Structure 1
């Protein structure tokens, strides 16, 4: 990717850009006077210094979004479509260069980074195409010469907050959904992965997005949210992240009666029956579990395997895990990159340590890998009860607890026992059982004999403490719109 803005003109030797904020159509280093290093999780080395937005920068971003909303909300839907489609095309053209940036700052393999960017481009394109289908309706009137029109209008400027695990996909959902609806947006992307967010902004700018419609800021997360969410210019909040932070942000939004979309944590159960094809299912689930070093909110993370196939499943799954080549994501031979930061390594130590203290056997892995960076071995644990930290807290890492079940009724209770409900999965060769288990699992997204629950055209969201509202699909677009009734009586006979 060619960097043309002042903050990114001097890219490092490894191709990593100079970092900055994007406010009112211009790149800058802000006025905050603070910065933080961006760390390569594979080496522990510093990629660059990320400037933090000060209060003046946040005020400029909110004000710019408010002013731009007045213009962008009146921009014809066909033009919004064209901008989003051009942004998608630019992302596809730049995919190799941006994938390198993503891998450098986040750690996942280049193949995964390319796949994520391709999915982000699909999201821009899908929302662009959907922008021209924001239909209203006419309601038959009880009165003569009267018409009831129901119209859908953009809600207003949006404050959006994103995590580091999918630094292209998650911002793309928020940016594209808001822009398609006619909203402007202030995006607070993750400080660990700023270069990827900057690349999305570059694509939108180069696609012809007017100044101020999309603004990008970084900083202390609490300070940024506490400024933006109550700001009178902001009409809606979208947040993806942890449950505790989501609760705090939702409370702030509620104080201003501002709607929220919250995609929070999960702990996805995956049910494996004895009538499924293990030769097909085991590689599929192992690939999904260890993708992005397990740092995936919808990853299968609590395994319940029927007793008749439990030993065969766990042996095969452990063999797949042990065969994964762990290393720098830039190396084509790598099958799994590092974890994103030292905090995640410490979390794995705590979870695996608790399991071992409870007598759960580690089948493979179970410790750090290498002597630099934030690597953890792909790990498999025999879960002999459901009360360990591994079975009650989202691991968000490459550790798979595998438990046994023998009774369907007890299985459903165990799978649904946690206060989370983002994703769930089940694999069976029985059509009737497939239909039954899909309805029995309590989650916002359920995959039965499939892992395809995250697509541009389908809703993405959870239930219970995993949040509310959806991103993706027409439901995601609806969240950036308000419904207005216009009743018009025309004078005449």
Structure 2
């Protein structure tokens, strides 16, 4: 039996310690600055993806817990909204400092909770801290507007926080995505009720602890655990919640929109994707190969921006797919706490079964499983990185979001067919393009139906740029000032300079009205 590396052993030791000290106590809600059980007293179990054994007991919230949290957020909003931006900036920077200080704890807990390889979760804390610092530095100017002079008037606009907001986050990279939503909301002056995914509740609790330790006033951030059908639904319907930011599956997004309709909630959705990476025969194929393999097999393939369809020009299709298969076959699947592991277990047995169901669908549809297409081991939710070749765009494996380490390879003849294939799905989150033809790169990128396009690159985030999708992949944009457009209302104020002549009604004596003659 191979001895674990020193780093692996240290990660495992910390994991055991955290399970004994932290997770054995269970997870509560955080409402109004206090850790509390669910009003009902009910709990649920979250399991480890490694062996599906119980990991932690979690308070199960319902409409009563959501109501308490929404009321706490509403009460705290009255002061938080008036706090000067530079003071909010200071609080958010303290949060970032504490995230960095506890980065190893965050990484280990995230791996335990989600099955993500720790080599990627090491960056979760760094990115979370970066999100808080980025929006902290924009907090002082968040309310700034424009000067819009007109004849006889001084017009100017300001922005004001919309109010308490609901934030519903997914299970794939929960810590980072929670900071990506919560940081701009707090910087804008909003208060938050956060409902994390029930499959990965652990790091949300850690983030709440950090924000409380950093001095965030009570009630500004509230955390309620639970399931979508009770806690989630109650959050999206609550009249005190003015907006809902949601990251997750497309069907759930449509439910949230319906649930929030009666209270006219503003919604921001980052939803599903079936993103295409298009490889032309003039591309730098070595770099393209690295990007294709990384963007589908990293993070267990559980990434909204993953390039899960690779469209390859016919002349290089066989060679390029053979190279992908070789790389995929070499990917190390195993314990997520092992720094050598590249793909860990999928987050939950239900998701594991969904991903594995596509192996048989591929065979039924006539595609070839070039590599993978099987589970790994007898316990846990481990799947072999998989490549489907000989696929067509009308197959389920090319149309449906699998959300696992599974890539579908489709050949194309020319640019026109490539664009048709790339756009031939209901999703439109991200797209990737590899070519040495600069003119074609611009032309093709502008023709792709996706909210974000990377040319000759994998997904490299730049925080000031807009992040979001089109079609069934979402509504709205995150990043930079785009986040404030969601969390804030724009108000126009018009001040007359005294030269404006107001129209008059009722000036002078009204003409007499003759009495009606008898019989009229």
Matched residue SS, 1:308: helix
Structure 2 residue aligned with 1:72: 80
Offset of 1:330 from its aligned partner? 0.5
Choose the corresponding residue for 1:334, options 336, 341, 362.
341
- The superposition leaves residues 208-263 of structure 1 with CA deviations (integer Å, 9 ceiling, x where unpaired) of 11000000001121212332222221111111111111011112222222211011
Whole-Å separation in 1 of the counterparts to 2:80 and 2:462: 26
Matched residue SS, 2:308: strand
Whether 1:138 aligns to 2:136 is no
Higher mean displacement: 122-131 or 217-226: 217-226
**Gapped regions of structure 2 (runs ≥ 5):** 1-16, 501-520
Offset of 1:383 from its aligned partner? 3.4
Offset of 1:131 from its aligned partner? 1.0
Structure 2 residue aligned with 1:291: 298
- The superposition leaves residues 238-289 of structure 1 with CA deviations (integer Å, 9 ceiling, x where unpaired) of 1111111101111222222221101110100110011112222212221221
Matches within 5 A, 1:231-310: 231-310=238-317
Structure 2 residue aligned with 1:125: 133
Structure 1 residue aligned with 2:61: 53
Choose the corresponding residue for 2:190, options 176, 183, 208.
183
Matches within 5 A, 1:193-208: 193-208=200-215
Whole-Å separation in 1 of the counterparts to 2:126 and 2:297: 20
Whether 1:89 aligns to 2:97 is yes
Choose the corresponding residue for 1:19, options 12, 27, 35.
27
Whether 1:107 aligns to 2:115 is yes
Whole-Å separation in 2 of the counterparts to 1:418 and 1:481: 33
Q: 2:226, 2:232 within 8 Å by CA — same for their partners in 1?
A: no
Q: 2:149, 2:156 within 8 Å by CA — same for their partners in 1?
A: no
Report the CA distance shift for 1:251/1:54 in structure 2 as closer, same or farther (over 3 A). closer
Whole-Å separation in 2 of the counterparts to 1:276 and 1:141: 53
Offset of 1:14 from its aligned partner? 7.5
- The superposition leaves residues 139-182 of structure 1 with CA deviations (integer Å, 9 ceiling, x where unpaired) of 21322xx4322100001100111110111121111110110100
Matched residue SS, 1:479: helix
Q: 2:88, 2:136 within 8 Å by CA — same for their partners in 1?
A: yes
Matched residue SS, 2:297: helix
Give the RMSD, CA atoms, in angstroms: 1.7
Higher mean displacement: 207-216 or 196-205: 196-205
Q: 2:61, 2:230 within 8 Å by CA — same for their partners in 1?
A: no
Q: 1:32, 1:55 within 8 Å by CA — same for their partners in 2?
A: no
Choose the corresponding residue for 1:411, options 418, 442, 450.
418
Aligned residue pairs, count:
482
Q: 1:15, 1:101 within 8 Å by CA — same for their partners in 2?
A: no
Offset of 1:115 from its aligned partner? 1.2
Matched residue SS, 1:426: strand
Offset of 1:470 from its aligned partner? 1.1
Q: 1:16, 1:101 within 8 Å by CA — same for their partners in 2?
A: no
Q: 2:305, 2:459 within 8 Å by CA — same for their partners in 1?
A: no
Matched residue SS, 2:367: coil
Higher mean displacement: 91-100 or 465-474: 465-474
Q: Give TM-score, length-normalised by structure 2.
A: 0.90
Structure 2 residue aligned with 1:435: 442
Whether 1:40 aligns to 2:39 is no
Q: Give TM-score, length-normalised by structure 1.
A: 0.95
Whole-Å separation in 1 of the counterparts to 2:374 and 2:21: 30
Whole-Å separation in 1 of the counterparts to 2:294 and 2:208: 31
Structure 2 residue aligned with 1:6: none
Whole-Å separation in 1 of the counterparts to 2:123 and 2:74: 34
Matches within 5 A, 1:330-479: 330-479=337-486
Choose the corresponding residue for 1:315, options 299, 322, 336.
322
Matched residue SS, 2:75: helix
Report the CA distance shift for 1:266/1:492 in structure 2 as closer, same or farther (over 3 A). closer
**Which protein has the larger Cα radius of gyration, Structure 1 or Structure 2?**
2
Matched residue SS, 2:137: helix
Whole-Å separation in 1 of the counterparts to 2:497 and 2:442: 52
Whole-Å separation in 1 of the counterparts to 2:65 and 2:369: 49
